[in-house]
């Protein structure tokens, strides 16, 4: 796996904190920093997600992928899955994630709660590389609700 991240500045200028990531699979992702009122030249323009927001989003994608795949492999009629991630960060540098809650909403027909709970646990204990890495610095908690399709 590889990725190249290039500083773009702000709208093609060499000020600001915009970046474009080009992934090994041929896709691009734009990132930007938060505006800095005290030193505008050091801040972003709020044109794209922050880099750590993309880490959180990628973790959500990783675990949601696992949960859907595990439920489908169990022949459950899953029709939807969302996960809302809420994170806290350390107060001092490096401002790593210290706590993350993942709330899953799984939609389907007749999926037993135990199957959803098992899929989430399997993702976090065995398959989701992103959440397993983040668990080295953050306490990760999960919850879920089910909606009948």
Over residues 71-107, the pLDDT tens digits come to 999 999 999 999 999 999 999 999 999 999 999 999 9
> Could you count the other beta carbons within 10 Å of the beta carbon of residue 123?
26
- Answer yes or no: do 100 and 55 share one domain: yes
HEC letters along 24-62: CCCCEEEEECCCCCCCHHHCCCCCCCCHHHHHHHHHHHH
Please name the residues in contact with 76: beta carbons below 8 A apart, sequence gap of 6 or more.
108, 110, 111, 112, 115
**Which domain covers residue 28, as residue numbers?**
3-42
- Answer yes or no: do 21 and 55 share one domain: no
Total number of domains in the chain: 2
pTM beyond cutoff 0.85: yes
């Amino acid at each position: 796996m590889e990725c190249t991240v290039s500083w773009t500045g702000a709208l093609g200028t060499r000020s600001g904190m915009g970046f474009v990531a080009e992934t090994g699979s041929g896709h691009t992702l734009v990132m930007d920093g938060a505006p800095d009122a005290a030193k505008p030249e050091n801040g972003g323009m709020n044109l794209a997600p922050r880099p750590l927001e993309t880490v959180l989003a990628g973790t959500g994608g990783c675990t949601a992928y696992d949960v859907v795949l595990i439920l489908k492999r169990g022949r459950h009629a899953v029709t939807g899955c969302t996960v809302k991630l809420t994170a806290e960060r350390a107060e001092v540098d490096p401002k790593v994630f210290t706590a993350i809650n993942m709330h899953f909403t799984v939609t389907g027909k007749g999926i037993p709660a135990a199957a959803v709970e098992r899929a989430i646990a399997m993702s976090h204990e065995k398959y989701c590389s992103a959440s397993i890495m983040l668990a080295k610095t953050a306490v990760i908690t999960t919850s879920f609700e089910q909606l009948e399709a």
